[in-house]
Amino acid sequence: MTNLASSPRAVRKAFHEELGPGQRSALLSWLAFTGAFAGLRALTYSIRAGKGPFRNVSVGGEHLHHYMWGIAMLSGVGAVAVRGEEAHRRHPALAISYGAGLALIVDEFALLLDLQDVYWARQGRISIDVGVGGIAVAGSYFAALPLLRRLRRQRVHPPIPAQAPAPHAESGAGSPGAIRGASGGQGLR
């Protein structure tokens, strides 16, 4: 197996050359979904265990579930998609917001279906985490596959650096000196 570690410049170049605008948006959405979902799982487990600096957010004694923030994010994404200019619809921030907002909702999907007992029941919660986490990783992988293939090709067959052109003689056919002499001007530089 080849080492796929590449420079950030090579990854960025492959990202823009190998993926079309829709593919780039899909990849960013999947990666944002995967990262947000994993971060939310860690955050909610630490809050539930009482570890770390984070606590639940409440207003007037009512807990604000994070699916509410996800709905707000997707509403914003929808507004831009429906009414925004093309440059805004193609902006990477929109794809990232979509993936992260969706993760905020999916993470608490059982609560939206009013299955409150399943959400924190050990067997139910673990199966949901593993299932959604697996889907997120698989989706990210398949969305990134063209990019990964490009980077693998570059590792196996690195591009040959361009060689400097051979120096021209000052006089002779085709040289800048010959052009300058024929035109009486400064020639090509």
Q: What SS3 string covers 81-138? A: HHHCCHHHHCCHHHHHHHHHHHHHHHHCHHHHCCCHHHHHCHHHHHHHHHHHHHHHHH
**Which tops the pLDDT comparison, 88 or 173?**
88
Query: Which residue, among 1, 15, 12, 10, has the nearest Cα to 159 in the 3D structure?
Result: 10
Q: Which residues of 159-183 are buried (b: 16+ CB within 10 A; e: fewer)?
A: eeeeeeeeeeeeeeeebeebeeeee
Per-residue pLDDT tens digits for 32-69: 999 999 998 888 888 888 888 888 888 888 888 888 99
Highest mean pLDDT of the ranges 9-23, 73-87, 145-159, 173-187? 73-87
The helix/strand/coil state of 64 is coil
| C-alpha–C-alpha distance, residues 184 and 189, integer Å | 14
Q: Is the pTM of this model over 0.75?
A: no
Query: Which residue, among 111, 150, 118, has the nearest Cα to 11 in the 3D structure?
Result: 150
In the prediction, which pLDDT does 158 show? Answer: 74
pLDDT greater than 80 at residue 115: no
State the average pLDDT for the chain: 79
Per-residue pLDDT tens digits for 176-187: 444 444 444 444
* CA 133 from centre of chain: 16
